[in-house]
Structure 1
Amino acid sequence: MIALGLGLLVTAVLAMISLLIGAADTNILSLLWGLPDDQASQILMISRLPRTLALILAGSSLGIAGLVMQMIVRNRFVEPSTTGTTESAMLGFLVVTLLAPDWPIMGKMLVAAGFALMGMFLFLRLLKFVPLRDVVLVPLVGIMLAGVIGAITSFFAYRFNLLPMLLGWSMGDFSGVLRGRYELLWIGLGCTIAAGIAADRFTVAGMGREFTTNLGLNYRRTMLFGLVIVSLIASVCLVSVGSIPFLGLVVPNVVSLILGDNMRRAVPWVAVGGAAFVLAGDILGRVVRYPYEVPISVVVGVIGSAFFILLLLRRRTNAA
C-alpha cells in the first residue's frame, strides 16, 4: 500500500506539472485567486485541466484494456494495437461517418466499439487455425490482421477524401482536448472499475476453459465481458484523442514483472502506472520542442516499440 501511495503521489506531481506547462503564461495561483473571467483561469479550466484529466483517464483505461486482453488471450505480447482492435474501431468510425455523418458522437463511438468487438472475435478465430508453437506468433497474427484492416480503411478513406481525418484518428494527440470534448473518456473509467470488480474472474479465465468451468464460472460469458470492456475502451480513446500504440503492452508487463499474474493486485498498479506513463510522455512531448508539441502517439510509440523488442530479447535469453 505504501508503494501504491507513492505511485499515486508521483502521478499527482506529474498532473500538476502538466497543468503548468503550455505556451500561455499562467500558474496555479491564478486559478485559486483569479476572477472567473480572468484569462489565466479560463485557460486552466477550459484547456489545461480537461487535458490533464483526459491524459489520466486515457492512460489508466488503455493500460487496463491491455491487461484484460493479455489475460484473455494468455499472451503477454498482445494489446489493442497489436490485435487489430484499434484498426477495427477506426474502420467502424469511418463507416458510420460515411453512412450517418449526423449521428451524435456517442452513437459513432458505439458503432466503433461494435466493429472493435468483431475485430477481436476475428483475431481469436484466426488463432484457432494457426499452429502457435511460439507465443511471438500471436502478436504477429494480430499485426498482420491490423495491417489488412488498416489497408481497407485507408482505401475507403482515400476513395471518399477522408485521409486527413483518418490521419487524425491514427495519431494520438491531446493538444485539441478542451472542456466538452473529452467527457467520453469517463466511460473508460467505468470500464476500468468494472475490470477491477471482475479481476478474479479474468484471472481464472486466463487459466483455460476447463479450469474455469471446473470452478463453476461461465467461460464464454467471462470472455465476452472482457472483450466488451476492451472494445469500449479502445473506441472511446480513439474517438476522443486518437490511437496510442503499445501503452497496453508496456504498463501491464512492467507491473507483471513486479507483482506477478494476479490481476486483482495488478489492476490498481496498472491504472496508476498507465496514467503516470501517459502524463510523463505528454510532458516530454510538450517540452522537447517547446512551444511546439510532439504527439503523444509518437513518444509512447517509440518507447513502447523499444520495450516490445526488449521483451522479445529477454524471452529469447531466458529460453536459451
Structure 2
Amino acid sequence: VMLLAPGLPVILKMLVAAAFAMAGTAVFLGILRRVPLRSEFIVPLIGLMLGGVIEAGTNFVAYRYDLLQSLNAYMIGDFSAILRGRYELLWISFGLTCVAYVAADRFTVAGLGQDFTTNLGLDYRKVMALGMVIVSLVTATVVVTCGVIPFLGLVVPNIVRLVIGDHLRRTLPWVALLGAALVIACDIVARLVIAPYEIPIGTIMGVIGSCLFLYFLLRRRGYGE
C-alpha cells in the first residue's frame, strides 16, 4: 500500500493488511501440516521463522524504494502517534473479541484436533476459518493503529494457560486483562527510561517478551528432561 497507494484511507489499509494476514496465516497452517510437532513450542518457533523470512523480503522491497523509515513506523509499536481519529479502529478489535468469546467453546474443541471436532458434529474448517478471520482482522487493526507489538500474543496466553488451563471461554478475559496490564507497564517504562524522550513500546515489549518466551521454553525443556 505504501508503494502503490500511499494515500489510501486507514480503513482500507486495514482491510488490505487483514487480507495479507489471512493469506500468511493460511501459509503458516499449511507448513504446520507438513512438520512433525514434537512440542507445542515448535508452533511459535515456526511462526517466528516464517515471519523472519517475510520480514526480510519486505525490508528488501522497502530498501529498494526508499521506504524503510515508513516501514519501521509500522514494524515497531509506538503509542506516541496515536491521536484522535487514529485509534477508533480499535473498536473493531473489541467487537471481534466479543465474537471470539461467543464462539470460544467451538475454538476450544477445534484445538483438540480435526477428528475430535468432527466427531462432536462441528465443521472443523468453518471454525478454523472463523478463527483466522478474527485473528487476521484484529492483528491488522492493531498494526495499522499502533504498529507491531512483539511477543504479546505469544507470552500472555501461555502465562494464563499455565495458571487457568486451556478452556478459551475461561481464559480469554484473563488474557485481555493481563495483556492490557503488560502493555501499560511497558508503556510506562518506555516513557520513564530516558524521559522526557520516549522509547517505542515495541522495543520494551520485545526485550521483556523474548526473555519470558525463553524462560517458558527452557522451563518446559527442563521438565521434559
Conservation of the 8 A alpha-carbon contact between 1:97 and 1:108: no
Name 2:170's counterpart in structure 1. 265
How far residue 300 of structure 1 moved from its aligned partner, in angstroms, is: 1.0
In structure 2, stretches of 5+ residues that fail to align are: none
Name 1:301's counterpart in structure 2. 206
Name 2:127's counterpart in structure 1. 222
Which of 231, 241, 246 lines up with 2:151 in the alignment?
A: 246
Q: Distance in 1 between matches of 2:6 and 2:190?
A: 33
Q: Distance in 2 between matches of 1:179 and 1:121?
A: 34
Q: Distance in 2 between matches of 1:195 and 1:135?
A: 22
Name 1:311's counterpart in structure 2. 216
Which of 101, 111, 123 lines up with 1:206 in the alignment?
A: 111
Map 1:93-242 → 2, pairs under 5 A: 96-242=1-147
How well do the aligned residues superpose, as a CA RMSD in angstroms? 1.2
Q: Distance in 1 between matches of 2:49 and 2:193?
A: 33
Q: Distance in 1 between matches of 2:204 and 2:149?
A: 9
SS at match of 1:99: coil
Per the normalisation by structure 1, the TM-score is: 0.68
Q: Distance in 2 between matches of 1:275 and 1:100?
A: 33
Q: Which piece of structure 1 moves more, 179-188 or 139-148?
A: 139-148
Q: Deviations over 1:102-153 (max 9, x none)?
A: 3211111101100010001001111222233343332232222111111111
Which of 280, 285, 298 lines up with 2:190 in the alignment?
A: 285
Conservation of the 8 A alpha-carbon contact between 1:123 and 1:142: yes
Q: Distance in 2 between matches of 1:274 and 1:263?
A: 15
Name 1:88's counterpart in structure 2. none
Higher relative contact order (CA 8 A, sep 6+): 1
Count the aligned residue pairs.
225
Q: Distance in 1 between matches of 2:13 and 2:103?
A: 27
How far residue 98 of structure 1 moved from its aligned partner, in angstroms, is: 1.9
In structure 1, stretches of 5+ residues that fail to align are: 1-95
Q: Deviations over 1:44-76 (max 9, x none)?
A: xxxxxxxxxxxxxxxxxxxxxxxxxxxxxxxxx
Q: Deviations over 1:10-54 (max 9, x none)?
A: xxxxxxxxxxxxxxxxxxxxxxxxxxxxxxxxxxxxxxxxxxxxx
How far residue 260 of structure 1 moved from its aligned partner, in angstroms, is: 0.7
Q: Deviations over 1:229-261 (max 9, x none)?
A: 111111111111010000011211111111111
Name 1:44's counterpart in structure 2. none
Q: Distance in 1 between matches of 2:142 and 2:54?
A: 18
Q: Distance in 2 between matches of 1:252 and 1:142?
A: 16
SS at match of 2:210: helix
Per the normalisation by structure 2, the TM-score is: 0.96
Map 1:71-82 → 2, pairs under 5 A: none
User: What letter is aligned with 1:250?
Assistant: V
Q: Distance in 1 between matches of 2:45 and 2:172?
A: 26
Q: Which piece of structure 1 moves more, 118-127 or 288-297?
A: 288-297
